[in-house]
């Protein structure tokens, strides 16, 4: 009986835990700029503590939205540029702003799961990688807004 109660408690907790969802590319729109989300390499997602999900077509949109919003979040994830089916916890990503990257809103921003991936993909200097704490201090001017 004790095992059943523990098991049911775990299931209830998992059901209440906010989590990310897959994005329906070409259908879902960006919470910040309202454009359709078309390129999975740049997608981002914010999940509030209450479970509300906000999708973004570009990391720069999520960063700007975080600066404007006072809503608390339970999860912030970004897509791995080299593996656009893999969400990365935003705080664990390695960010690059470089003209070789054509992000949807023109900030030339992408996230990589490792520094090595960023270096080899873009052939960039090692000191050009940003961490999440540095990235969120920036404010991006977005094309088309």
Predicted confidence (pLDDT) per residue in 71-84, tens digit: 789 999 999 999 99
**Domain around 95:** 2-135
* SS3 state of residue 7: helix
CA angle 48, 74, 103 (to 5 degrees): 80
Number of domains making up the chain: 1
In percent, the amount of the chain with pLDDT more than 70 equals 86
Which position has the token pair 């309202």?
Answer: 34
Closest by CA to 119, choosing from 143, 127, 57, is 127
What lies within 8 Å, CB to CB, of 10 at 6+ separation is none
Instruction: With cut-offs at 50, 70 and 90, classify the pLDDT of residue 124.
Output: confident
Residue 52 lies in a domain: yes
Return the pLDDT at 19.
84
Instruction: With cut-offs at 50, 70 and 90, classify the pLDDT of residue 18.
Output: low
Residue 46 lies in a domain: yes
Residue 38 lies in a domain: yes
Residue 141 lies in a domain: no
Return the pLDDT at 144.
65
């Amino acid at each position: 009986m004790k095992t059943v109660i523990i098991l049911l408690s775990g299931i209830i907790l998992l059901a209440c835990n906010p989590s990310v969802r897959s994005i329906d590319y070409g259908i879902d729109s960006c919470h910040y700029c309202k454009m359709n989300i078309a390129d999975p390499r740049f997608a981002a997602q914010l999940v509030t503590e209450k479970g509300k999900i906000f999708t973004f077509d570009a990391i720069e949109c999520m960063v700007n939205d975080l600066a404007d919003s006072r809503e608390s979040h339970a999860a912030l994830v970004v897509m791995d540029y080299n593996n656009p089916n893999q969400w990365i916890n935003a705080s664990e990503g390695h960010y690059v702003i470089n003209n070789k990257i054509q992000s949807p809103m023109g900030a030339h921003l992408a996230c990589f799961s490792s520094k090595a991936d960023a270096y080899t993909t873009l052939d960039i200097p090692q000191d050009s990688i940003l961490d999440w704490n540095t990235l969120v201090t920036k404010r991006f001017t977005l094309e088309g807004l």
